[in-house]
Amino acid sequence: MNETADHVRELARKARIAGLHLAHATGPDRRSILLAVADELSRADVRARLLAANAEDMHEAEGRRDRGELSVALVDRLALSDKKLDALCDGLGQLADQADLIGQVQLERELDDDLVLRRVSCPLGVLGVVFEARPDAVPQITGLALRTGNAVLLKGGHEARRSNAALVQCLQGTLRTQGFDPAAIALLEDRAEVDALLSLDREVDLVIARGSSAFVHHVQSRTTIPVLGHAEGLCHLYLHHSASPPMAARIAVDAKCSYPAACNAIETLLWEPGAEPALVATVAALQQRGVELRGCEATRARHPELRPATEEDWATEYGDMILSIRRIEHIDAAIAHIERYGSRHTEAIVADDEMAAATFLAAVDAAGVFHNASTRFADGYRYGLGAEVGISTGKLHARGPVGVEGLVTYRWLLRGHGQVASDYGPGKRAFKHRNR
């Protein structure tokens, strides 16, 4: 264990030094790294290596899935494809085109003549990111770190170990060819190294934990390092009585079926009296797509073919082609249901009534609250952030998809000419506090 701890500490030490070089580079230099990564991921030979490594991971994972050792949702998240790699390259291009945040003067204030205070943005430093079996998260997270001058220690799921290793090797090689130290990106191998990482409160500035709620709480309980948690996504779609049936059906299908394993997919559909036409259209569309629907008694009275829903269903993130449906009496009851069972990730209402939509948007406590739009829009790429290190359901530092703004902090820089604090105060010299 001591050898493991020493090894991870050394990785973090080297990462911090390499990260400082990134932080002190120019914005155009950091931009060039991202564009070079996108070019590398577009090359046919590189893709062939990445997809071959992923195929080995998939073969092993599918066998474990068939034996009941891995969930269908986890295996779905594990797959890489040309389409995913294309989206990664596009996201890196988006990220490269964003304004550089490092070194921005956020506030400039004269405390007195020749005594000037500035608040200047800077990187967090070294990030430790522990994430689920999604290898496409590697270039997304790393791209955000590089854009903001941060170093990163990565630990992905064991199921994606070959894919992650191939991606990290590609990213490190690109850093090297761009004249930067590849030690700014490091890949941890096993759980013992994660435990060692969590003890490095002097070397690691932020831990980002992506996984189940239980996993995030486990990480939080084992470290004094600040933790940004990307946990469960128990999202709802609420059909108001003014909902357009075609719109409701289209949004529900996208929010459930386009990627059921995603944390921004809906798990429960709520409807109120008067929304029966929207419910009928939505149920038919979801059944056509093969979704298993589970309904409350009131829902099954209209759709007896549905399986009965239990109390457990309202609190379940399926991550699969399963959806629970519940009738509620009015918008306040919908908000109360979401407050009780939701994960504060993303919630949506379908309504033509603007007053109802405004009430929902104002009252629902979640990182994302949508009107007449699919919950699947809750994504750093779709928000134009380029990518995300995760979706934070907490309220401090960053909330929702965490892009570059969530990976910077600031320093207070004061320049004077020999002034001392004891010269100021009641009966002494007064501060001027002039903003520039």
Q: Which of 173-187, 226-240, 332-346 has the lowest mean pLDDT?
A: 226-240
E strand or H helix that includes residue 229? strand 227-230
Strand partners, 318: none
Pick from 350, 378, 126: nearest CA to 252 = 350
Query: Does position 231 have pLDDT exceeding 70, yes or no?
Result: no
CATH number at residue 124: 3.40.605.10
CA atoms within 13 A on the CB side of 317: 24
Mean pLDDT score across all residues of the chain: 93
- The pLDDT of residue 274: 97
Contact at 8 Å (CB) between 124 and 202? no
Containing domain of residue 20, as a range?
2-231+393-412
- Claim to verify: residue 189 and residue 267 sit in the same structural domain: no
- On whether both 352 and 371 belong to a single domain, the answer is yes
Q: Check whether residue 200 and residue 245 sit in a common domain.
A: no
Residue 429 inside a domain? The answer is no
**Considering the domain boundaries, does residue 178 fall inside one?**
yes
Pairing mode, strands 346-350 and 434-435: unpaired
> What would the two tokens of residue 172 be?
């490190």
Tell whether 384 is covered by a domain. Answer: no
Residue 422 forms part of a structural domain: no
Encode pLDDT of 17-60 as tens digits. 999 999 999 999 999 999 999 999 999 999 999 999 999 999 99
What values do phi and psi take at 360, rounded to 5? -65, -50
> What is the pTM assigned to this prediction?
0.81
**Taking residues 76-97, what's their average pLDDT?**
93
Q: Is residue 7 included in any domain, yes or no?
A: yes
Q: Quick one: 98 and 174 in the same domain? A: yes
The pLDDT of residue 371 is 98
Q: Is residue 243 part of a domain?
A: yes
Percent of the chain with pLDDT over 70: 99
Q: pLDDT tier at 348 (50, 70, 90 boundaries)?
A: very high
pLDDT band at 217 (very low <50, low <70, confident <90, very high): confident
Confidence of residue 132 (pLDDT cuts 50, 70, 90): confident
Q: 324 and 220 in one domain?
A: no
63 and 211 inside one domain: yes
Instruction: Report, as an integer, the average pLDDT of 332-344.
Output: 96
Tally of domains in the chain: 2
For the chain, counts of helices (H) and of strands (E): 15, 18
Q: Is residue 432 part of a domain?
A: no
Average pLDDT in the 169-181 region?
97
Q: Is residue 425 part of a domain?
A: no
pLDDT in tens, 301-322: 999 999 999 999 999 999 889 9
pLDDT of residue 1: 52
pLDDT of residue 402: 86
Q: Does residue 324 share a domain with residue 346?
A: yes
The pLDDT of 117-137, averaged and rounded, is: 92
Instruction: Enumerate long-range contacts of 2-9, CB under 8 Å, 24 or more apart.
Output: 4/192, 4/193, 4/196, 5/196, 5/199, 7/193, 7/196, 8/153, 8/188, 8/193, 8/196, 8/197, 8/200, 9/196, 9/200, 9/203
